[in-house]
C-alpha cells in the first residue's frame, strides 16, 4: 500500500494513511476542481442518509449536499444544502475531505464532509432526497459489512471512510473512478486521518 499522499490532498495537514489500494499506475489527471459539500446527522447510534431521487448519484444513498455557490463558504453551502434537501438545520462541524476524479473528466470533485450530533426542524422529503435513518451499530467495531447501512447502494468508496465519520476522526482521501457505461468503478484510492488543525474549513 502506498504511503505517498496523492495529488489533490495537499495542504490538508498531516495525513496518516489508513487505507489505500487499487491500480498502482498514475493518478488520473484533472485541470479544474469543483467544490461540493456533503452533510450527515449522527444521533442515537443512527445516521441520517438521503436516497437521491434525481441528478448525479441518482439511486444511491448519500449525505445531503451539493455545489458550493459563488461567495459561499463550504460550511454555509453545507448548512443551506442540508436545509434544502432534508428540511433541518444543524450545528455542522467539518469531518473530512474527499477528492474524486473520474476517467474522461478534466475536473475533480472536492467534497467537504460535515457532520452534526443534533438538528432542529422536521425531517422532510425533498424533490432531490428521501431521508432515512440507519443504525451505525457494527461500523465502529470494524464490522461495516454487517451493519444495516446500505453500502451496496452508496458510492463504492464510502465504506472505507464511514467509520471515521461516525467516530469523529477527521479524514482526507482521494478516489479515482473508471467508467463502465453509466457505472463508476473504483480504480485507485488513498485515505488518511488528519492530525493537523490547519486543515479546518
Ligand atoms: C465517489 O463519489 C462520491 N462519493 C460521495 N460519497 N459523494 C459524492 C460523490 N460524488 C459526488 N458526491 C456528492 C457531492 C454532493 O453532495 C452530491 C452531488 O451534488 P448535486 O449534483 O446534487 O449538487 P446540487 O447543487 O444539489 O445540484 P442541483 O443542481 O441538482 O441542485 O453528491
Does ligand 1 lie within 6 Å of residue 176's CB atom?
no
**What residue ranges of the chain have pLDDT lower than 50?**
none
Alpha carbon distance 142, 135 (integer Å): 14
Report residue 156 as a C-alpha cell. 463504492
- Residue whose Cα lies nearest atom 16 of ligand 1: it is 65
The answer for 142, left when phi > 0, alpha when psi is -120 to 50, beta otherwise, is left
Task: State the pLDDT at residue 26.
Answer: 86
- By CB atoms closer than 10 A (0-12, 13-18, 19+), residue 1 is exposed
Distance 75 CA to ligand 1 centre (A): 15
Does ligand 1 lie within 6 Å of residue 85's CB atom?
no
- Do residues 90 and 119 lie in contact, with contact meaning Cβ atoms separated by under 8 Å? yes
Task: State the pLDDT at residue 70.
Answer: 97
pLDDT in tens, 125-148: 999 999 999 999 888 777 777 788
**Cα dihedral sign, 140-40-99-146:** positive
Does ligand 1 lie within 6 Å of residue 61's CB atom?
no
Task: State the pLDDT at residue 201.
Answer: 57
Amino acid at each position: 500500500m502506498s504511503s505517498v499522499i496523492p495529488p489533490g490532498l495537499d495542504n490538508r495537514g498531516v495525513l496518516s494513511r489508513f487505507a489505500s489500494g487499487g491500480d498502482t499506475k498514475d493518478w488520473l489527471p484533472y485541470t479544474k476542481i469543483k467544490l461540493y459539500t456533503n452533510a450527515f446527522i449522527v444521533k442515537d447510534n443512527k445516521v441520517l442518509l438521503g436516497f437521491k431521487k434525481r441528478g448525479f448519484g441518482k439511486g444511491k444513498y448519500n449525505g445531503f449536499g451539493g455545489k458550493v455557490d459563488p461567495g459561499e463558504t463550504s460550511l454555509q453551502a453545507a448548512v443551506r444544502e442540508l436545509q434544502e434537501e432534508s428540511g433541518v438545520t444543524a450545528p455542522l462541524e467539518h469531518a473530512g475531505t474527499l477528492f474524486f476524479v473520474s476517467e474522461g473528466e478534466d475536473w475533480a470533485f472536492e467534497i467537504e464532509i460535515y457532520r452534526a450530533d443534533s438538528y432542529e426542524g422536521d425531517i422532510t422529503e425533498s424533490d432531490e432526497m428521501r431521508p432515512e435513518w440507519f443504525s451505525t451499530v457494527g461500523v465502529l467495531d470494524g464490522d461495516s459489512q454487517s451493519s444495516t447501512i446500505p453500502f451496496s447502494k452508496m458510492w463504492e468508496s464510502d465504506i472505507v471512510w464511514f467509520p471515521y465519520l461516525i467516530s469523529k476522526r477527521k479524514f482526507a482521501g482521494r478516489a479515482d473512478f473508471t467508467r463502465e457505461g453509466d457505472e463508476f468503478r473504483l480504480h485507485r484510492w488513498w485515505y488518511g486521518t488528519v492530525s493537523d488543525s490547519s486543515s479546518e474549513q
